[in-house]
């Protein structure tokens, strides 16, 4: 009996020793700085799902320090990011957004840009933007040299996740509604410039959908027919919208262009 206990104890000791050696082989493989950072503070980089609240942050901008949620002020907004000041594609993009100021203001939409540099170069870059695009840029640009907002909004590529202070901030667009909810996210590779008309088109679609309870089809433009959601019965749709064109029981069109033009 004693020998059995001894043999059992020996096997247990051997297994424990093997387990310890196995664990020690993983010991030197410390987590990367970015992993440790988010492991310690998981709330720092929330999941950016459509319908979730846009993460809040404090930052320096070309128009002073802001608290992002306070800056939103209960209005629609677009937040768009750039890799760096004095980069060619970014310069054309900011100039295009600046020239569309009246279009966004007509829809009660605020604009705010972001560039992964500090304020010391933002001002001169804005001078270049105004000169090259023949415009006057009037919305704020966030200074995000430490990539705080870039990581918070997941504006980095997979290969840049380990580069906390030098990560390459990709081109991102976020549309945020008056209740601070994320309504659209678009992520572009650094080599591809954005389409400002598409951003405006999406805002028109979202605002119309919120107001009238409709959805918009492929390539929809203001004034085109819209789609009656499947949740609305055809009879109820006719009472609400007037003429309804039924292509299939699940695909019905109507037109609410007058309400769009009047906004």
Instruction: Pull the structure tokens for residue 101.
Output: 């100021």
Contact at 8 Å (CB) between 149 and 110?
A: no
CA 75 to chain centre: 16
Residues paired with residue 253 on neighbouring β-strands, in sequence order: 227, 245
Residues assigned a catalytic role: 90
For residue 35, the tally of other CB atoms under 10 A from its CB is: 12
Closest CA to 75 of 200, 177, 175, 173: 177
Q: Which residues are CB-contacts of 246 (< 8 A; sequence separation ≥ 6)?
A: 234, 252
87 phi and psi, to 5 degrees? -105, 145
Q: Which residues of 80-116 are buried (b: 16+ CB within 10 A; e: fewer)?
A: bbbbebeeebbbebbbbbbebbebbeeeebbbbbbbb
Cα 31 to Cα 7, 94, 157, 165, 253: the distances in Å are 39, 38, 19, 17, 54
């Amino acid at each position: 009996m004693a020998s059995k206990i001894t043999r059992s104890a020996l096997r247990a000791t051997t297994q424990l020793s093997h387990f310890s050696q196995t664990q020690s082989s993983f010991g030197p493989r410390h987590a990367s700085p970015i992993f440790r950072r988010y492991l310690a503070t998981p709330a720092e980089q929330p999941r950016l799902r459509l319908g979730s609240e846009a993460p809040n942050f404090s930052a320096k901008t070309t128009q002073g320090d802001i608290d992002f949620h306070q800056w939103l002020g209960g209005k629609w907004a677009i937040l768009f990011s750039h890799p760096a000041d004095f980069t060619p594609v970014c310069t054309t993009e900011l100039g295009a957004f600046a020239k569309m100021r009246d279009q966004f203001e007509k829809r009660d939409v605020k604009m705010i840009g972001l560039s992964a540099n500090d304020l010391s170069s933002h001002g001169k870059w804005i001078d270049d933007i105004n000169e090259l695009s023949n415009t006057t840029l009037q919305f704020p640009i966030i200074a995000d040299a430490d990539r705080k907002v870039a990581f918070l909004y997941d504006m980095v590529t997979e290969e840049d996740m380990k580069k906390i202070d030098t990560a390459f901030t990709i081109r991102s667009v976020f549309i945020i509604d008056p209740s601070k909810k994320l309504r659209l996210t678009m992520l572009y590779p650094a080599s591809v410039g954005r389409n400002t008309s598409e951003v405006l088109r999406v805002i028109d679609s979202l605002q119309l959908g919120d107001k009238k309870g409709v959805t918009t089809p492929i390539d929809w433009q203001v004034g085109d027919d819209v789609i009656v959601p499947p949740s609305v019965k055809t009879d109820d749709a006719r009472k609400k919208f007037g003429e309804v064109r039924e292509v299939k029981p699940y695909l019905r069109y109507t037109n609410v262009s007058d309400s769009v033009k009047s906004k």
